[in-house]
Structure 1
Amino acid sequence: MMDTRPDAVKLDGAGPVYDQIRRAIRDLVVSGQWPPGTSVPPEHALMEQLGASRMTVHRALVQLAREGLIVRRRRSGTIVASPPASHAMLDILSIPQEVEKLGQAYAYEILSRCDGKPAPDIAERFGLKRSEKVTHLVVLHRAGGKPHVLEERVIHLAAVPAVATEDFARVPPGDWLLQHSLWSQAEHAISAVGAQSEEAALLDIAIGEPCLLVERRTWNQDRPVTAVRLLYPGPRHRFVGRFGPYGQV
């Protein structure tokens, strides 16, 4: 049975009290005794139990928040943070698979779709010619019922004509393309951006909150296949690459 009472926080007597508190709570989180979403005892309860000052307890909790182990919310209190999702930096990402690896239920919703010649802003955003015919999609992916990543994608109809009759009701566009198209080259670009108002509303984050933007293009020989922009809420994700002297391991 999970014990989230203040007396579950045991000090070891080594070093400054704030660091003892930090280590004690960290160990409860890392060991899994306090899983993601667990309510952390409030400052006043920890003060009373541990005989520590408010400043000392506050300092420990602030440090834990900086380390990404807890999330502090003014109205709803402090909870144990969910671990950030890890992504292989140079892989073609299957979003359903990355959500499944987190042990969460996956769902997606096609927010909009437009087939034909791209609008001027879409052409500029994806570097398209106005004469090209594409399918432009906006998709919201969810993990455990919460927004996971916002996807904006164009698919070149000349390269993948079958997309014209696909409604993506059963398989999201990225996974459908992995099953129904060929690619020989891919290009990744990763940058940090602040969430714009519409993006923030869809991802359920604050306007301007840091996000990771993954932009990817694929080609089959010299023919473009797809271009996608994946916007991830920054604190929930990290990207990982492992390399050897001759490339990716």
Structure 2
Amino acid sequence: MDQIFSPEGFDQTGAGPLYLQLQRRISDAIATGRLQPGDSLPPERDMAALTGLSRVTIRKAVEGLVASGHLIQRRGSGTFVAPKVERLEQALSLLTSFTEDMARRGKSAESTWISRAVHSPSPEEVMALGLAANARVARLERVRRSDGIPLAIERASISSAFLPDPETVTGSLYAVLEANQCRPVRAVQRISAANLGPHDAGLLNVAVGAAGLRIERIGYLPDGRVVEYTRSLYRGDAYDFAVELKLDPERTSR
């Protein structure tokens, strides 16, 4: 640790701004394993004393590494090396739940519940689910984790006709819907880029403004009725979404 923050080696002239030089030292230490996930960095004033750099320079270097996902800051606790996040590839051609996705990879699937309750539907839910004005909707909001690492925020809306008691959902939502004979058999998804605001970034343990993927899914029953309206936010540093493309059948038949 002392070697990382040694005052020797900082170049005032040709190696770029001092905060970038410090960033490179810390990121190199993380890459080579000298700093491990969960390791704490010295307080800002101690890093300034060790390196001989100003606290403004230290703060700018740390903020950049937090924004890039190398470090995380916990209020009242300090600055830590961020846990390593394995990048996952998710096929867009399969209609599966988060729990099923993780099970297929041999990983755990965990939930931190934010809310599970029945409400009067919002205008958006009425439109998406095709509800009557006097209908009720079950809302489920949770942070989805795997191996203890938060990967996504899931906000699902289901008509109470299909899910009268959202408290019955403890793991896979699709497993409960399947038991109720109303699991979706097809879905339409829309994916867009998002920068995470303070609330969602805090839930996913990433920097405010970090890149995310917003996914809106509407799931349908075999008879065409809508059963699911889910809005999810995925960490951009953890997911790659892949889809198989095929040549237009009309083109191949010519």
**TM-score, normalising length from structure 1?**
0.63
Equivalent AA in structure 1 for residue 217 of structure 2: R
Give the superposition deviation at 1:216.
0.4
The equivalent residue for 1:45 is 46
2:241 counterpart of 1:241? yes
- CA contact under 8 A between 2:39 and 2:81: conserved in structure 1? yes
Cα gap change, 1:124/1:68 in structure 2, threshold over 3 Å: closer, same or farther? same
- CA contact under 8 A between 2:116 and 2:140: conserved in structure 1? yes
Give the superposition deviation at 1:89.
6.7
CA RMSD of aligned residues (A): 4.7
- CA contact under 8 A between 1:108 and 1:142: conserved in structure 2? yes
The equivalent residue for 1:94 is 97
Give the superposition deviation at 1:9.
4.5
Of residues 107, 110, 113 in structure 2, which corresponds to 1:106? 110
Give the superposition deviation at 1:19.
2.9
Unaligned runs of 5+ in 1: none
The separation in 1 between residues aligned to 2:237 and 2:245, in whole angstroms, is 27
Give the superposition deviation at 1:218.
1.9
The equivalent residue for 1:154 is 158
The equivalent residue for 2:3 is 7
Unaligned runs of 5+ in 2: 248-254
Give the number of the structure with larger relative contact order, counting CA–CA contacts within 8 Å between residues 6 or more apart: 2
The equivalent residue for 1:21 is 22
The separation in 2 between residues aligned to 1:240 and 1:246, in whole angstroms, is 20
Q: Secondary structure at the match of 1:44?
A: helix
**TM-score, normalising length from structure 2?**
0.62
Question: What does 1:48-59 correspond to in 2, within 5 Å?
Answer: 48-59=49-60
Q: Deviations over 1:141-191 (max 9, x none)?
A: 45349795242221585xx6xx56896355331344467656443211234
The separation in 2 between residues aligned to 1:102 and 1:26, in whole angstroms, is 30
Give the superposition deviation at 1:44.
2.7
The equivalent residue for 1:124 is 126
- CA contact under 8 A between 1:108 and 1:172: conserved in structure 2? no
Question: What does 1:218-229 correspond to in 2, within 5 Å?
Answer: 218-221=219-222, 223-229=224-230
The separation in 2 between residues aligned to 1:138 and 1:56, in whole angstroms, is 43
